[in-house]
Amino acid sequence: MTLTLPAFTNAGRFWRGNLHTHSTRSDGVLDPAEVCRRYQAEGYDFIALTDHFVGRYGYPIVDTVPFRDSAFTTILGAELHSGAMENGELWHILAVGLPADFAPSNSPSFLPVAGQETGPQIAARAVAAGAFVAVAHPQWSGLTVNDARSITAAHAVEIYNHGCAMGCDRPDGFAIADQLLTEGRNLTLIATDDAHFSEPDHFGGWTMVKSETNTPEALLAALKAGAFYSTQGPELRDVRVEDGHLIVECSAVSSIVAIGWGTGAKAVHGHSLTRGAVPLERLNNSPFVRAAVIDAAGKRAWSNPIWTGAAEKNPRLA
């Protein structure tokens, strides 16, 4: 039996986009028009401008419709903030595809206040309003596993945040994502910039979304369906499970890695690899497997998880 991912079986083509971006409508340096112009000039097909949805900035869901053209589109969104995480700090929740009239939370600033929605509540409200929702920068936020477990409505975890990589060396969300996957949560994995243009936080991580058209509606549907992969540069062309192996086809890389639960992982290495077959025995009968590739410059790309249907739990993880 062959197990596949919608990113490599759905009709259409890949569109390059950034799902986490800020402008002068919150704490970014550039106005919305210039942010959109720069992403389009750098070869992106779409962005979501996701300014901070707090009272200090007027709860912005920025109208980026005027910056769309036949070659570039935008998806409305915001970075939502409400309630306290276990460390006492405010939640950061990425919501892409929000309606322009999404009701504000009681979040006057970046500090939690009494009586406001919790993070899980505002995430659920965003999903109900039609948004694609991701847990933002878990490592930077100091997100605990208990925090992560509480966000039951989220579609994705932000597993690479370029702004956090450049600004504080806390870029990833892999530990949180893999723990939730191990517990059976059906989540996808996104890479973003979180660009503010106040430091070199842009054009470093993006999502390649598979759809037939580059429209907000088609892109949003593809995101919710998991029809995408995330990258810092390398291209994924196929990822599938077949005959006990993870098969990966990609642009030239040096390593192809299969990753599952617990300590389960296995890699193959070489020069200018464009195809690899990684045996899955070392994945400890993991119910999921995801692919990572690493090129000669150290740039990476990541697939969403394939659910293998493995049912027998490894005794070491019991």
Fold category of 2-228 in CATH? TIM Barrel (3.20.20)
Spell out the residues 6+ positions from residue 316 whose beta carbon is closer than 8 angstroms to its own: 262, 284
* The CATH number of the domain covering residues in 236-317: 2.60.40
User: In the prediction, which pLDDT does 1 show?
Assistant: 86
Within the chain, all domains assigned CATH 3.20.20.140 are found at: 2-228
User: In the prediction, which pLDDT does 30 show?
Assistant: 98
- Which of the residues in the chain have pLDDT under 50? 311, 313-318
Spell out the residues 6+ positions from residue 169 whose beta carbon is closer than 8 angstroms to its own: none
User: In the prediction, which pLDDT does 181 show?
Assistant: 97
User: In the prediction, which pLDDT does 316 show?
Assistant: 39
Handedness of CA 107, 111, 113, 117 (dihedral sign): positive
Within the chain, all domains assigned CATH 2.60.40 are found at: 236-317
Secondary structure (3-state) at 5:
coil
Closest CA to 181 of 277, 32, 286: 286
Give the model confidence (pLDDT) of 216-231 as tens digits. 999 999 999 999 999 9
DSSP code of residue 242: E
Nearest-5° Cα angle at 193, 60 to 63: 25
